Every structure is written in C-alpha cells, then in structure tokens.
Structure 1
Amino acid sequence: MSREELVAMTRNLIEHGAADTMEYADEVVRVPASSYTDPDLYEQERRNIFRRLPLMVAPSCELPEPGDYKAMDICGIPLLLTRQRDGSVAAFLNMCSHRGNPVASGSGNASRFTCGYHGWTFKNDGALLGVASAKDFGTVDKAALCLKRFPSYESAGLIWATLDLESKLPIADYLSGYDALLSAFGFEGWTLFSQRTIPGPNWKTAYDGYLDFYHLPVLHKDTFGADFYNRANYFFWGPHQRLSAPSKMATRVGSDIEEDLSLLSDDEIPNDALLSGVWTIFPHVSIASFYGGGQRGAMISQLFPGETVDESFTTQFYVMENQPETDEQVKSAHEQFDFLEVVVRDEDYSTGKRQHQALQSGMLKEVLFGKNERGGQVFHQWVDKLTHASDTELLDIFTPEQREAAE
C-alpha cells in the first residue's frame, strides 16, 4: 500500500511538472508576528507541544546494538534511551528514584547505570538493581523505585518518545500512517555516518525554512544555484507533511542523466524519485535525501527549542545506506555533510536569526504565507491548534476516526 501511495504522489508531481503548474492554497494567510516573539506563547509551545506530543528522539542506527544508550535533555526534561536485550528501545526519565540525579550522560553501551551521587544502580531496562548500603538505608520496595518510563515507539528506522509519563496518546495514532511511508527509505538497515548540533533562531522561524522551496534559488543561489526549483506540492498526514517539486524529470542517485518519469510504468519508477523532496515529522524533524560517498544518504534534521524564544538547536544526523569503506568514499561523504552544514548554518539559520531579531522590534504586526507556501500555512495552523488543545481534545484530534474525517 505504501508504494501505491508513493506512486500516486509521484504521478501528481509528474502531471504538474509536465503542465508547468503547482497546487495552491486557497488564499494568502497572515500570521501574527508575535507568534514568533511572544515569550509566554513560547513557553506554552514548549510545554504543550514538545513536552506533550511524540517526538522523534533518535534514528534507530544511533542505537544499533543491545546495551546502546543515549542521554539527552529536551525542553528541561532529562531523557535516557536504551536498546534492550530483546532489541526493543525504552525511554526513561533520566533521574535516580532516590534524589533525582541523572544516572547517565552522553552515549555509549552499558548493561547498568550507577548514580554518581549515592551509588544506586539500575539495569538497562530501568529496574532498580541495588541500593547502596541497603542495610543502613532501610527497607524499600525496589520494584516501586524503577526508572520512570516514557511511552516510546520504533518504526521505519526511527525512534519516538512522549515526554509525558501519563500520556494516553498512542504514538502510532499520532503518526497518522506516515511511518508506513517513511519505511520506504529503509532506514532500519542504514548506518549513522556523522552527526553534529548547530544553534539556530526561534524554532518556528527555523522550521519554516524546511517547509519552503520558494526561497531556494534566492537564499541558496551561491550553493544550490539560482536555477534551482522554487515550487512545491504538499502532501499531508495529520500534521506531518512532504513537499516535493512538480517535475516529470528525475535524476537517479549516482547518475547525472535525467530521465522522463512519465515514460515509465509504475513498477519502473525508481525509489529515489518516489522519495524525492523533504519529509517533515511534526513538530521538529525534516528528512531529505542526498548522495555522497558513492551511495544513498539522507540528512535527518532534529530541531528543538532553546531556553529562550530567540534560540533553537538542531542536530543533523547524516545517515547512509552503507558505511563508506574507501578513503575516497569517506572524503566524499564528509564533503556532502559539510556542504549541508554551510547551507543550513550560514544561509538558513543566519538569515533566520536576522529575521527574528527584526521581528522582535515589534514594528511588523503580521507575516505572510502565500498561496504557494501551503506547507507553512498548515504548519502554523497545527501549532496553534495543538498548543491550545486540552489533553482530552488532543486525544480526540488523533483518533483514527477523526483523522479520516479531516482528510
């Protein structure tokens, strides 16, 4: 079914490319400039979106082996991810049940975690293994003092967690079937080549750029080129979306030769064409395919808001279908990844920081999203809707029945 849906989207892009058209939104939309700069709204977003909705916390290839772990902080919540002996992934509150000190930092491989404050020890599965000086401490129910566990979910080679211990929102429902399409990338068998974290502007300012091809030939004229496409058609699954350029022509990965997709049967359309464009996972991830080191690669950008309204942080994961083997392949992969850093850091985020600083002057009351910027329109509608939804309303929004009715 996922390939059939991918082919249908590709046929849509082929038809619009042949006709030199694109799909437009109904109207130009105005968004209050204060939605980017209001610190109170920003805290609401951190609380009601990033601390309440499922987040893509890691590609599966970051934790490939049993015992692998990663500790991270998201909007003030300490998170510990661990790969279990049975191959599943667990997400824990990274706080010792004794006094709350984090039990792990950084990443690595471990079968147990010992708190550096008093020496309480926990198994990789969160169970409390030992209380230091137990005879002196007193009798406790160790089964009741395990690491607290967050809801988590692994699918399509990606790992999600919800940073709400009481969340009743099924992560699969939230994804709205989107992960079935993402599985076409085959990330389950890929390898993590490199990663880095770069600072950025307000999280919505930063994320707007991932939903916008309109700026590509202007802002990126010196990197991608002034002749780069600036149109996109958008496809939606709940709040998640894909944008891709309308075109009947495609270049196979590893080749400089373009081919006319309209001449191919459904079975002949290459996977590269089916997965073209940018795939975004609300509220903070974008996935785009690239080619470096002699094989398929993708940059998975994971965006989180910072401590203040004017900052964010993005971790860029460069994942590859196969680990580069030769010096030339490694060099080529690094060059591709370094190029993408320049594009995002020095062009997208540098511009976003200047834009946000100007908006903080309060002199502009609204910003505009044109009929050709449908992705940004829909993104801001979902941000507003989910920021202000109650917990009960949140469950209703993502029930399969409600989702199907909305679509």
Structure 2
Amino acid sequence: MSRETLVAMTRNLVAHGAADTMEYADDVVRVPASAYTDPALFELEKKQIFRRLPLMVAPSCELPNPGDFKAMDICGVPLLLSRQKDGSMGAFLNMCTHRGNPLAAGCGNASRFTCGYHGWTFKADGDLIGVADAQDFGKIDKAKHCLTQFPVHENAGLIWVTLDPASKLDIADYLCGYDELLKAFEFEGWTLFAQRTLEGPNWKTAYDGYLDFYHLPVLHKDTFGADFYNRANYFAFGPHQRLSTPSRFAIKVSGEDDQQMDLSAMSDEELPQEVLVQGVWTIFPHISIASFYGGGQRGALISQLFPGADVGTSYTTQFYVMENQPETPEQVQAAHDQFNFLEIVVRDEDYATGKRQHEALQSGLMKEVLFGRNEKGGQVFHGWAERLVAASDEELVEIFAAEQRQAAE
C-alpha cells in the first residue's frame, strides 16, 4: 500500500507537470505577525507542542549499537536515549531519582549510568541498581526509584519520543501512517556521515522555509540558480506534509552522469525508489527530510528544529545520512562538499533572511503576514499549530483518532 500511495503521488506530479499546472489552496491566508513575536504564545507553543507531541529526536543510525546513548535538552526537558540489549530504544528523563542531577551528557556507549553527584547507579534500561553507602542512606525500595520513562516509537529508521510520561496520545496515531511512507527512504541500515547545529530565527519563521518552494529561485539564485523551480504540490497526512515540484521529468544520478528520465513513459513498476521520495518531507512540528546525492551514493539531509531560549531564536541540528559510508578519499570529500553546500544555503541564506525578517516583525508595525494560494504548506502548518496549541489533552487524542478513522475510510 505504501508504494501504491507513493506512485499515486508521483503520477499526480507528472500530470500537473505535463499540464504546466499545480494544486492551489482555496485562498490567500493571513496570519497575525504576533504568531512569530508574542513571547507568551512562544512559551505556550513550547508547552503545548514540543512538550506534549511526539518529536523525532534522532535517526536510528545515530544510535546503532546496544549501549549507545544520547543526552539532549528539549525545551527544558532533559532526555536520555539508550539503545537496549535487545535492540529496542529506551527514552528516559535524564535525572537521577535522588536529587535530579543529570546522569549523562553528550553521546557515548554505556551499560549503566552513575550519577556524578552522589554515585547512584542505573542500568541502561532505567532500573536503579545501586545506592551509594546504602547502609547510611536509609531504606528505600529501588524498584520505585527507577528512571522515568517516556513513550517512544521507532520506525522507518527514525526515533520519536513524547516528552510527557503520562501522555495518552499514541505515537503511531499521531503519525497518521506517514512513518510507513517514510520507509521508502530505506533509512534502516544507513549510516550517519556528519552532523552539526545551526542557530536560527523564531522556530516558525525557520520552519516556514522548509515548506516553501516559492522562494527558491529568488533567495537561492546564487546557489541553486535563478531558473530553479518555485512550484510545489502538497500531500498532507494529518499535520505532516510532503511537498514536491510538479514535473514529468526527474534526474537519475549515476556515478558522474546525470540522466533525465521521462516519468510519463515509465510504468509504475519502473519508477525508481529515489524518484518516489523526491521533494521535501516534513514531520510536524520540526523535521524536514530531503534527498541529495554526494560521495557516490544516495544521501539525505534530516533537519531537526527546536525553539531556542526566547521567541526570536531556534536551533537546528542537521544530520547528513548516507546509504553507505563513503570509502575513498574522493567519495568522502564529495560528501563533505554536499553537506557544506547545504550549510551555506540554510545558514547564510534561509536563516540569515529569517533573522532579518523576525527583527523587522518585532517592530509591531506589520499586523499580518500572507501565505498565497501557491504556499499551501505554510497555510496547513500554521493552521495545525494554532489548532494543537488550543487543544486539551483529551481533544488531542480525539483529533488524531479521527485522522486515523478518516484515513481508513
């Protein structure tokens, strides 16, 4: 079924490309400028979106082996990911149950975690196994002082965690079947080539750019080129969206040669896997995935966006994952060249522009921003952000249960 859905999307793009058309939103949408600049709304978004909805916290290839761990802070919540002996993923509150001191920092490999404050020790599965000087501390039930666990879901080579241990929102429901489509990237078994973190503007200002092809030949005229496409059709799965340019043609990269393929002349069975995942895939509220080719093989840039310390800042971790680890010096350099090029595009063009835009909006002299009929992705994103911020925990569960029922009809 997943391939059938991907093929149907590709045929949609081919048909619109052949007709020189695109799919439009119903009307121009106006979004209050305060949606980007209001500090109170920003704090509410962190609470209602980032501390309540499932977040894609890591590609699986960042933690491939039993014992691999990663500690990170998301909107004030210390998270510890730990690959278990059986290959499953554990997600824990990174706080010792004695006084709350974080147990781990950065990334590494460990079978247990010992608190650097008083020496309490926990297994990688969160169980408390050692209380330092237990005869002096006093009697406690260790089974009642294990690490707090978060809901976790791993599929399609990606890891999701909900930063609310009491959440009743099923992560699979939240993904609306989108994770099954993401399997087409075939990330399982891929390798993490490189990663870095970039500072950006307000998180919604930054995320708008991932949902917008309209700006490509203008803002990126010196990197992508002034004749680059600026149209996109949007495919929505709940709040998650794929956008791709309508065209009957695709480029197949093989070695040193770029070969143009006429997709309209190919059968469904002949459509290559890389064609079925072309474009940009976004996972609400903070992930963008796009395919690239560098170092002699398929790669993808996974951009992971989080709000910063205040309304005007964000930070994005870019993961460059590859089908296989480059082997020759030439392949390694080509992969670095691709990754470095993408840093320039995002840091010096997208995010630099976003920071200037945000500073101007903070003047308060512009009351609304516009999203045109050709900018459906941004319209959908802001609609979902507003809806989910306002939803209660009970309404949140029902919203995505309804999405599941609608998809099944």
Give the alignment's TM-score, normalised by structure 2. Answer: 0.98
Query: C-alpha distance in 2, partners of 1:401/1:360?
Result: 36
SS at match of 1:92: strand
Alignment deviations for residues 113-147 of structure 1 (CA, whole Å, 9 cap, x no partner): 00000000000000001000000001100000000
Give the CA RMSD over aligned residues.
1.0
- SS state at 2:346 partner: helix
Could you tell me how far apart the structure 1 residues matched to 2:373 and 2:403 are? 29
CA contact (8 A) 1:176 1:400 kept: no
Q: Which residue of 2 aligns with 1:5?
A: 5
State the alpha-carbon separation in 2 of the partners of residues 171 and 53 from structure 1: 8
Q: Note the alpha carbon deviations across 1:294-319, whole angstroms, 9 max, x for none.
A: 00000000000001000000000000
Distance in 1 separating the partners of 2:261 and 2:48 = 46
Identical columns (%)? 76
Contact 2:253 2:259 in 1 (8 A): no
Q: Which residue of 1 aligns with 2:395?
A: 393
Whether the aligned pair in 1 keeps the contact of 2:235 and 2:241 (CA below 8 Å) is yes
Deviation per CA, 1:20-45, whole angstroms, max 9, x where unpaired? 00000000000000000000000000
Distance 1:405 1:291 in 2: 33
Shift of 1:272: 1.2
Query: Where does residue 80 of structure 1 map in the other structure?
Result: 80
Cα distance in 1 for partners of 2:182, 2:402 equals 19
Residue number in structure 2 paired with 1:164: 164
| Residue of structure 1 aligned with 2:293, choices 291, 294, 306 | 291
Cα distance between partner residues in 1 of 2:25 and 2:408: 17
CA apart distance, 1:353: 0.1
C-alpha contact (below 8 Å) 1:253/1:272 kept by paired residues: no
State the Cα deviation string for residues 203-260 of structure 1 (Å, max 9, x = none).
0000000000000000000001111000000000000000000000001133412111
Change (3 A) 1:406 1:180: closer
Q: For residues 37 and 193 of structure 1, what CA distance do their matches in structure 2 show?
A: 36
**C-alpha separation between the residues in 2 aligned to 1:145 and 1:247?**
57
1:403–1:345 CA distance, 2 compared to 1 (3 A): farther
- In the alignment, the residues of structure 2 paired with residue 189 and residue 119 of structure 1 have an alpha-carbon distance, to the nearest angstrom, of 36
SS in 2 for 1:394: helix
- Residue 189 of structure 1 deviates from its aligned partner by 1.1
Which range moved further: 301-310 or 397-406?
A: 397-406
Question: Where do 1:18-29 residues align within 5 Å?
Answer: 18-29=18-29
Q: Which runs of 5+ in 1 are unaligned?
A: none
Equivalence for 2:191: 191
Local SS of the residue matching 1:149: coil
Report if aligned partners of 1:253, 1:296 keep a CA contact under 8 Å in 2. Answer: no
Q: Deviations over 1:144-202 (max 9, x none)?
A: 00000000000000000000011010000000000000001110110000000000000
Counterpart for residue 202 of structure 2? 202
SS of the residue aligned with 1:105?
A: coil
Q: Deviations over 1:88-108 (max 9, x none)?
A: 001000000000000000000
Inter-partner Cα distance in structure 2 for 1:38 and 1:259: 48
Unaligned runs of 5+ in 2: none
Which residue pairs with 2:230 in the alignment?
Answer: 230
* Equivalent residue runs for 1:324-403 within 5 Å: 324-400=326-402
Dislocated runs of 4+, deviation >4 Å: 400-403
1:320 to 1:43, Cα distance in 2 relative to 1, 3 A: same
Q: How does 1:118-137 map to 2 (within 5 A)?
A: 118-137=118-137
**1:397/1:403 contact within 8 Å kept:** no
Q: Quick check: 1:77–1:163 contact (8 Å CA) kept in 2?
A: yes
Is 1:302 aligned to 2:304, yes or no?
Answer: yes
1:173–1:400 CA contact under 8 A, matched in 2: no
TM-score normalised by the chain length of structure 1 = 0.99
Question: How far apart, in 2, do the equivalents of 1:402 and 1:62 lie?
Answer: 30
Residue 238 of structure 1 contacts residue 403 of structure 1 at CA under 8 Å; is this kept in 2?
Answer: no
